């Protein structure tokens, strides 16, 4: 017997499969980064479970390793995760009928991929009463594989020779995310301003350069968007 | 003694849950000011660019630019732009770095 719920869940699993493969090196890198920064196994895994947002985990670890002050680590991580607010706003109307418990679980496991796949299904096929099962089919494997990959990276990190320069994977991951996030001319301007200011400000204490450069880039994007309208 | 980093992680976790739950859990009718909504569009490109560029533009101990990192980054950027996917970007970027390290004078 295939109930609509089970069908939706299976559809989610199928849709997310290639993305699950793609997050493995990302998760492994987060584990290696935690090891390299001397966070210890408990803090590395604790961060992975409590925060569960890869880009902000890597950035936080980078800043902690550089000796940044705690408030700046928090501010930078929260700026990086601010996009989740947008996802939340976009998804919420489709899940209003669910209980608070369900919606809390969905919020905790919300990721770029879970948002993107679910919203495109809702948009193209129209939302139905089982969309949340599709969402779970997408989001749960991402959560599980992320935790396993982080643990593996931490555990296997010492076995990787420094000559491989695996630390280079961190900027490569952000590069891929950057290219996927640029979809307009103001977006290009936001990236150029933030990127160049971040290089100039890299020697500022406590990761201040990264945070200030990001804020300047966001402002530049909004201003550039205004120009285009005039 | 408990590591103070647990506090940092707890605050980041709570804040991230607040972003994720802002509309899903806490406020159905919540509306964002227009300026904030427009600014949110530029959070990903700005933050990711700020994270990535200092990792690609690096100087070596003798004061010269680390050309291998920069060129490998350019190759990876092109792959990321064309494929819009993480995995090929990582694989080709790492291969480019190793190849350039082997080819370029140290």
Per-residue three-class SS string for B44-77: HHHHHHHHHHHHHCCECCCCCECHHHHHHHHHHH
Q: What is the DSSP letter of A96?
A: T
Does the pLDDT of residue B37 top 90, yes or no?
A: no
**Is the distance from CB of B39 to CB of A222 less than 8 angstroms?**
yes
In a domain, B27, yes or no: no
Contact: A222, B39; criterion CB under 8 Å: yes
Q: Report the pLDDT value the prediction gives residue A169, as an integer from 0 to 100.
A: 80
Nearest by CB to B40, which of A70, A85, A192? A85
Q: How many domains does chain B have?
A: 1
Between A and B, how many residue pairs show a Cβ–Cβ distance under 8 A? 262
Of the pLDDT bands very low, low, confident and very high (cuts 50, 70, 90), residue B79 is very high
Cβ within 8 Å of B, A 51-70: 51-53, 55-56, 59-60, 62, 64, 70
Closest residue in chain A to residue B90, using alpha carbons only:
A172
In a domain, B36, yes or no: no
| pLDDT, average across residues B24-43 | 77
ipTM: 0.83
Nearest to A158 by CA among A30, A32, A21: A32
Report how far apart, in Å, the C-alpha atoms of A206 and of each of A5, A35, A66, A106, A209 are. 49, 21, 7, 34, 8
Higher local confidence (pLDDT), B40 or A78: A78
Helices assigned H by DSSP within A126-184: 131-156, 169-181
Q: What are phi and psi of A127, to 5 degrees?
A: -70, 150
Four-CA torsion A117, A118, A122, A127, nearest 10 degrees: 150
Interface test with A, best of B49, B55, B70 (most A CBs within 10 A): B49
Residues of B in contact with A47 (CB under 8 A): 9, 12
Q: Report the pLDDT value the prediction gives residue A90, as an integer from 0 to 100.
A: 78
Q: Report the pLDDT value the prediction gives residue A215, as an integer from 0 to 100.
A: 87
Using CA atoms, how far apart are residues A219 and A210, in angstroms rounded to an integer? 14
Interface test with A, best of B51, B71, B102 (most A CBs within 10 A): B51
pLDDT digits (tens, 9 = 90+) for B10-31: 999 999 999 999 989 987 666 7
Which string of b and e fits B65-74 if b means at least 16 CB within 10 Å? Answer: ebebbebbbe
Mean pLDDT per block of 10 residues along chain A (230 residues) reads 85 86 86 92 96 91 88 90 83 88 95 83 76 94 96 88 76 83 89 93 73 90 80
**B65 has which bridge partners?**
B59
Identify the three-state secondary structure at position A136: helix
In a domain, B22, yes or no: no
Cβ within 8 Å of B, A 102-161: 103-104, 106-108, 110
Contact: A73, B12; criterion CB under 8 Å: yes
Interface test with B, best of A85, A114, A145 (most B CBs within 10 A): A85
Q: Report the pLDDT value the prediction gives residue A207, as an integer from 0 to 100.
A: 64
Using CA atoms, how far apart are residues A48 and A42, in angstroms rounded to an integer? 10
Nearest by CB to B3, which of A43, A96, A165? A43
Q: Report the pLDDT value the prediction gives residue B30, as an integer from 0 to 100.
A: 67
Does the pLDDT of residue B106 top 70, yes or no?
A: no
Cβ atoms < 10 Å from Cβ of A209: 19
Residues of A in contact with B1 (CB under 8 A): none
Using CA atoms, how far apart are residues A59 and A173, in angstroms rounded to an integer? 11
In a domain, B67, yes or no: yes
Identify the top-confidence range among A199-203, B35-39, B91-95: B91-95
Residues in Cβ contact with A187 at an 8 Å cutoff, skipping those fewer than 6 apart: A181, A221, B41, B42, B45
Show the domain range for B58. 44-103
Q: Report the pLDDT value the prediction gives residue B75, as an integer from 0 to 100.
A: 96
Residues of A in contact with B48 (CB under 8 A): 55, 174-175, 177-178, 181, 191
In a domain, B58, yes or no: yes
Tokens of A139: 């989001």
Using CA atoms, how far apart are residues A8 and A2, in angstroms rounded to an integer? 10
Q: Report the pLDDT value the prediction gives residue B18, as an integer from 0 to 100.
A: 95
Nearest to A45 by CA among B81, B6, B77: B6
Q: Report the pLDDT value the prediction gives residue A48, as an integer from 0 to 100.
A: 96
**Is the distance from CB of B16 to CB of A77 less than 8 angstroms?**
yes
Using CA atoms, how far apart are residues B80 and B91, in angstroms rounded to an integer? 11
In a domain, B63, yes or no: yes
Interface test with A, best of B46, B97, B100 (most A CBs within 10 A): B46
Does the pLDDT of residue B32 top 80, yes or no?
A: no
Nearest by CB to A84, which of B19, B38, B55? B19
**B59 has which bridge partners?**
B65
Contact: A73, B48; criterion CB under 8 Å: no
Tokens of B56: 């690609």
For the whole model, what pTM was predicted? 0.79
Report how far apart, in Å, the C-alpha atoms of A32 and of each of A1, A35, A81, B29 are. 44, 5, 21, 42
Which string of b and e fits A159-189 if b means at least 16 CB within 10 Å? Answer: ebeeeebbebbbbbbbbbbbbbbbeeebbeb
In a domain, B34, yes or no: no
């Amino acid at each position: 017997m295939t109930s609509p719920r089970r069908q939706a869940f299976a559809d989610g699993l199928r849709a997310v499969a290639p993305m699950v493969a793609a997050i493995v090196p990302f998760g492994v890198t987060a584990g290696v980064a935690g090891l390299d920064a001397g966070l210890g196994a408990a803090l590395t895994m604790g961060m992975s479970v409590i925060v569960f947002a890869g880009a902000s985990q890597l950035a936080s670890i980078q800043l902690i390793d550089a000796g940044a002050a705690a408030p700046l680590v928090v501010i930078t991580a929260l700026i990086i995760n601010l996009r989740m607010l947008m996802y939340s706003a976009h998804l919420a109307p489709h899940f209003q009928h669910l209980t608070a418990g369900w919606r809390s679980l969905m919020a905790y496991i919300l990721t770029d991929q879970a948002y993107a796949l679910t919203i495109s299904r809702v948009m193209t096929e129209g939302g139905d009463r089982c969309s949340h099962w599709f969402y779970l089919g997408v989001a749960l494997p991402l959560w599980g594989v992320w935790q396993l990959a982080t643990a593996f990276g931490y555990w296997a990190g010492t076995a990787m020779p420094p000559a491989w320069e695996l630390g280079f994977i961190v900027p490569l991951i952000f590069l891929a995310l950057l290219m996927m996030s640029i979809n307009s001319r103001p977006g290009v301007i936001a990236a150029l301003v933030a990127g160049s200011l971040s290089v100039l400000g890299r020697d500022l204490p406590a990761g201040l350069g990264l945070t200030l450069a990001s804020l300047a880039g966001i402002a530049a994007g909004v201003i550039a968007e205004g120009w285009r309208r005039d | 003694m408990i590591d103070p980093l647990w506090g940092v992680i707890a605050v980041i976790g709570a804040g991230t849950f607040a972003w994720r739950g802002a509309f899903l859990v806490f406020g159905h009718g919540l509306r964002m000011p227009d300026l904030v909504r427009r600014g949110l569009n530029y959070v990903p490109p700005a933050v990711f660019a700020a994270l990535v560029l200092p990792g690609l533009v690096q100087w070596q101990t003798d004061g010269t630019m680390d050309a291998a990192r920069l060129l490998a980054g350019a190759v990876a950027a092109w792959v990321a732009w064309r494929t819009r996917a993480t995995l090929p970007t990582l694989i080709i970027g790492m291969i480019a770095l190793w190849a350039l390290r082997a080819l370029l004078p140290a």
